[in-house]
Structure 1
Amino acid sequence: MQSRKSYVPKVKVQTLILMNDGTELEGSVFIRATQRVLDLMNEPGMFFPLACSRTGEITLVNKANINNIKPLE
């Protein structure tokens, strides 16, 4: 018998990320509907995906290099 993981709905949140080197990234992160953007930083794993606002490209962001992350919505 196969076990199925339960589906967890996610929401897209526009964010502005300031990296340690001064670079600013603006895009969408995807978090659980019951989560805050700050909770994303406390999840296990060193990276999370960011969908760029201008191009739509997905970039993996290294949490260790983030100085500040702010939801825009």
Structure 2
Amino acid sequence: MTIESRPAGTIWTFAEEDYRFGAGPLRIRIERVLASAPLQHDGDLWYEVEGVEMSDQGQVVGPRRVTVRASRLPTARRH
């Protein structure tokens, strides 16, 4: 699955309740959504996402793989 709704390099912010696991908002530049293995948790669909975590100041924190609530992910198209 690739992200199609915003330009490459867009930083997405997810509230703490919309990703697993961490504390506080997550800022991430999404590079890939692993659509082949969705997860069910608490009645919701979740996807693993790979990308680069960013600080509030726009600094690169590092690579990050995280599970995100599907309803909060940007519009995407399967390839």
Q: TM-score range by the shorter chain?
A: 0.3 to 0.5
Which of the two has greater helix per residue? 1
TM-score, structure 2 normalization: 0.36
Which of the two has greater strand per residue? 2
> Which of the two has higher C-alpha Rg?
1
TM-score, structure 1 normalization: 0.38
